[in-house]
A = this chain, B = another copy of it.
Amino acid sequence: MLTVDSDRRRRPTLDTVAAAVGVSRATVSNAYNRPDQLSSSLRERILETARSLGYAGPDPVARSLATRSSAAVGFMLPQGLSGAFSDPALSIVLDGLASTVDGHDHSLVLMPGDATGGPRPSIVARAQADVMVAYSLPDSAPALEAVAARGLPLVVIDQPVLPGSARVEVQDYVGASLAASFLLSLGHSRCAVLTFALHPDGVSGPASPQRRSAVPFRVSRDRLGGYLDTLEKAGVKPDNVPVWEARGSDRELGRLGARWLLTRTPRPSALLCASDQLAFGALQAARDLNLTVPRDVSVVGFDDVPEAAYSDPPLTTVRQPLADKGRRAGELALKLLAGGRPPRPTRLDVSLVERASTAPRA
């Protein structure tokens, strides 16, 4: 019967095993880490004895201290977990990262963020990881300084460069332009924008001109910029484009924002949504208001999460390679760990996927 004995007082150590077998501690260590350093018969005997003594292998912490490596990568999030995981895009990125990291027998330490838009510095200072990955933190988050203070290698996803760090990012600005141009080509000049947080203060609402400038989140900044610049080039004044800022990126927040946008006068004929989740919310809001998509209003998302292909109607959206992003970040992290210099930023491509949520202006 499997029993949990949490009495840690007198757990066996390498020495216990060494003494029991009658060899040196170094040899027992080798039995676990360098099988080629001892005869296989002795190794067998050691492992056997260890088992019978209830020794579960070298203690991870002591091992980390001795090797100066904790075999873990830290992941810093801009928000708490529940908010974060209602965003499938993040889940996919994280999964890509996890599988890479996991494949190299490294583990993943999660550092949820708080209202400041990143994990508390004390958390970062104490995290047992030897490389950090920052996901979409606001510019100059305190967490980033904490990483620098520790001298840990850093890879940032969807963020501005930090000297000495590796980076993977997506052509958000280009993607947003793509979306806007497409709507313009369909004749939609009365567009509205539904975006997730521009500032880390947890506020939802119409985005005033002030809030639209000096946006600390690079992704939000680039997507919003891509939309507005493109519209402007076509002669649409940014100030005339209604923008709703949702404090997060989930359906419900999207629905709320879209309801507001779709009840402006004149009603926008198309919605540019900064994420698919927000777009799904927008589809819902349209239904709530008895509007038909795309007849009454066109909707375009961003991300191309798997579900975008199955929504009602299927979503026109900007595809970005989410899983790749995570994998790349993982590879970069491992490379930095191995002592590599930070390579040039990895830029991933975006493309527009046309589905059924958009149509020429009626």
Question: Which A residues form the contact surface with B (CB < 8 A)?
Answer: 1-8, 11, 54, 56-57, 60-65, 68, 70-72, 80-86, 88, 90-92, 94-95, 98-99, 102, 105, 107-112, 122-123, 125-128, 140, 144-154, 162-165, 251-252, 255, 284, 287, 306-307, 310, 312, 336
Instruction: Give me the 4 closest cross-chain CB pairs, A-B, nearest first.
Output: A82-B95, A4-B164, A85-B91, A6-B153
B109 touches A107 (CB 8 A): yes
List of B residues within 8 angstroms of A108 by Cβ: 109-112
B98 touches A94 (CB 8 A): no
Q: A323 — nearest CB in chain B belongs to which residue?
A: B82
B307 touches A4 (CB 8 A): no
A151 touches B284 (CB 8 A): no
Instruction: Assess A123 versus B145: contact at CB under 8 Å? Given A151-B7, A255-B310.
Output: no
Q: A126 to B108, alpha carbons, bound, how many Å?
A: 12
A107 touches B123 (CB 8 A): yes
B86 touches A4 (CB 8 A): no
**In the complex this chain forms, how many copies of it are found?**
2
Q: A284 to B311, alpha carbons, bound, how many Å?
A: 9
What are 26 A-B contacts with C-beta separation under 8 Å?
A1-B163, A2-B144, A56-B125, A56-B150, A57-B126, A61-B61, A61-B64, A61-B65, A62-B65, A80-B98, A81-B94, A81-B98, A82-B92, A85-B85, A85-B88, A86-B88, A86-B91, A99-B112, A105-B122, A107-B128, A108-B109, A108-B110, A109-B109, A110-B110, A251-B310, A252-B307
B4 touches A148 (CB 8 A): yes
What's the nearest-Cβ distance from chain B to residue A46, in Å? 16
B86 touches A105 (CB 8 A): no
Q: A276 to B126, alpha carbons, bound, how many Å?
A: 38
Q: A142 to B182, alpha carbons, bound, how many Å?
A: 52
Instruction: Assess A306 versus B61: contact at CB under 8 Å? Given A71-B126, A140-B2.
Output: no
A151 touches B5 (CB 8 A): yes
Q: A82 to B307, alpha carbons, bound, how many Å?
A: 13
What's the nearest-Cβ distance from chain B to residue A246, in Å? 15
List of B residues within 8 angstroms of A62 by Cβ: 65
Q: A62 to B1, alpha carbons, bound, how many Å?
A: 35
What's the nearest-Cβ distance from chain B to residue A347, in Å? 20
Q: A5 to B86, alpha carbons, bound, how many Å?
A: 34
B3 touches A164 (CB 8 A): yes
